[in-house]
Chain A
Amino acid sequence: MIRIDCPFCGPRDHGEFTYAGDATKVRPAHGSTDMEAWLDYVYFRDNPKGVHKELWHHAHGCRQWLVVERDTTTHDVLSVAFAKPSKSGGG
């Protein structure tokens, strides 16, 4: 069991969340014709043993997208933040 401390809802077990993979991939610019960049963005993923920065969707909670740093060897959650900072500048 992984417990994720959602910045909006508080600590919840991971059954409430949907995993969505690597959070470090940056989408190529709209209209980019750099096929290598698209290939990397769509298909290539590292699978680190240790800290992994990943997206989780709080599907059965506030429905926010979160960026979670998790240790893949211990399942320790090191940090949780909203994937998109709020426009008001808060959390």
Chain B
Amino acid sequence: MSEPIKPMVDIVVSCGAMHFYLSQSDKGTLVFGGDLDGYNTYAQRGNLPLIDHVMAAGVSLMPSLSRLRFHRHWGGVMDMTMDGSPIICKSPIPGLFINGGWCYGGFKATPASGWCFAHTIAQDRPHDLNTRFTIERFSSGHLIEEKGAGPFPWAQ
């Protein structure tokens, strides 16, 4: 998150190729998002190389960012799956349903996926839209490879 500046962007800028997004808060700070650490961690802190990586992406997209100062950064838990797609399905245990493994996609997809998940629970069978998002797809080979990165969550 940057120091507050005058209004600069009034939309959310998202760049899939660089895994970078940017928006401006009401207080004027620019808020950035980027990649995950890649390695497994419970340390609850970030690291400088990743901040560098996110900002390099930001500056290549919008060179005007290069002189800004930065205030703080934070991270959270990312529930990555091996093919980059979520799992929304019944489980082998009756009455237990799974909705997780959202990788980078959770926030934007929540309304649609919640609707499908509600259908799955209410009808005890998946909706057409989430039929393929099973946990069994890993053993059956019917993967939903979002990026074609292979079973390497740190590369997604």
Besides A49-B42, A72-B41, 19 more A-B contacts (Cβ < 8 Å) are A14-B49, A15-B49, A19-B154, A20-B152, A20-B154, A21-B152, A39-B138, A39-B139, A42-B82, A42-B151, A43-B82, A43-B151, A47-B40, A48-B40, A54-B39, A54-B40, A73-B42, A73-B43, A74-B43
In the complex, how many angstroms separate the beta carbon of A67 from the nearest chain B beta carbon? 14
Q: Knowing A15-B49, A39-B138, say if A72 contacts B43 (CB, 8 Å).
A: yes
Listed from nearest, the 7 A-B pairs whose CB atoms lie closest are A15-B49, A19-B39, A19-B38, A43-B138, A73-B42, A43-B82, A49-B42
In the complex, how many angstroms separate the beta carbon of A53 from the nearest chain B beta carbon? 11
Interface assignment of B17: CB less than 8 Å from any CB of chain A: no
In the complex the two chains form, is A72's CB within 8 Å of B42's CB?
yes
Q: How large is the interface on A (under 10, 10 to 19, 20 to 34, 35 or more residues)?
A: 20 to 34
Interface assignment of A62: CB less than 8 Å from any CB of chain B: no
Name the residue of chain A whose CB is nearest to the CB of B41. Answer: A72
User: Which of chain A's residues 1-31 have a Cβ closer than 8 Å to chain B?
Assistant: 1-2, 13-15, 19-21
In the complex, how many angstroms separate the beta carbon of B124 from the nearest chain A beta carbon? 26
